[in-house]
Amino acid sequence: MRFLVVEDDEVVAEVLRQMLEDLGHEVVGTAGSATLAYGMIEALRPDALLVDVELDGIGSGIDVASYGYVRWGIRSIFVSGHIDGWLMKEMAAVRPYAFIAKPFMPEKLADTVKRIA
């Protein structure tokens, strides 16, 4: 599976990239902002997005996931320190694969990715 990682913390983005690659998946890129993610979705057409809900700058991970799903049918795994019932309800329309609360154990991401791949 080909993933785009959308995470504004460069260290976390690199850890997520490495984790996905260790699981045998391709990471087509990492985007630190919603604006960059939109362009990368258009250019790279990943199979799935691994998205942090809160991003620096204009736009959020929710915006990115909505764009990817509405435009290309790309589904997401959300990663956030603030997952609650409101977020899960708000994102139901984009049919996310999963919500993973930060901090998380690597096994949680591995189990989630194995279920969708």
Q: pLDDT (tens digit, 0 to 9) for every residue of the chain, 117 residues total? A: 999 999 999 999 999 999 999 999 999 999 999 999 999 999 999 999 999 988 988 999 999 999 999 999 999 999 987 777 777 787 788 899 988 888 888 899 999 999 887
DSSP H helices in 1-105:
10-22, 34-44, 61-72, 85-90
**Domains in the chain, please, with CATH?**
2-111 (3.40.50.2300)
Give me the sign of the Cα torsion angle 40, 58, 85, 108. positive
